[in-house]
Amino acid sequence: MPKSLSILLDQNIPPPTTLWLQKLKSGWKVCHVKEVGLEGKSDDDIFDWAQKEQMVIITYDEDFADKRLFSTRNHAGIIRLRVWPTTVEETQNALERLFATVSDEEIQGSLVIIGRSHIRVRGRNPTKE
């Protein structure tokens, strides 16, 4: 049985998304950068902290999807939202589409890009049980 995911919401994710996601995915550990002392920190600091804690980052920041900056092979997972406007409603709608089509196992260790009309999963290293 796969372990539950741990999620870190980046500073550009509307904070009300934290409680919504905690209720929706009650088995997951979900926190916002504001809750763990990372508000205002660099992407590198946030990335490093998330990897140390084995947390999937959810972000609107395009830098996290850049292979030159954050290798798709060496992270717990990155979910990059590409929907606008970046409101609570659009954020939640995009994540609901993700959860309806992509499994927790596929998210773990992958770069997931959620656009308005598509979801791409890249760089996943499948594990065999």
Instruction: Tell me, yes or no, whether 129 lies in a domain.
Output: no
Instruction: Tell me, yes or no, whether 128 lies in a domain.
Output: no
Taking the complete model, does pTM exceed 0.85, yes or no? yes
Could you give the number of structural domains in the chain? 1
Instruction: Tell me, yes or no, whether 115 lies in a domain.
Output: yes
Query: How confident is the model over 101-111, as a mean pLDDT?
Result: 94
> Rounded to an integer, what distance in angstroms lies between the CA atom of residue 38 and that of residue 114?
24
- Domain containing 58 equals 6-122
Contact 4, 56 (CB under 8 A): no
Residue 26: both structure tokens together = 């009650």
Query: How confident is the model over 77-106, as a mean pLDDT?
Result: 96
Residue 9: both structure tokens together = 């919401």
The per-residue pLDDT for range 27-73, each reduced to its tens digit, is 999 999 999 999 999 999 999 999 999 999 999 999 888 776 766 55
- 23 CB neighbour count, 10 Å cutoff: 9
Q: What is the pLDDT of residue 2?
A: 55
Instruction: Tell me, yes or no, whether 40 lies in a domain.
Output: yes
Instruction: Tell me, yes or no, whether 73 lies in a domain.
Output: yes
With a cut of 90, say whether residue 125 has pLDDT above it: no
Instruction: Tell me, yes or no, whether 10 lies in a domain.
Output: yes
DSSP state of 45: H
CA-based end-to-end distance of the chain: 9
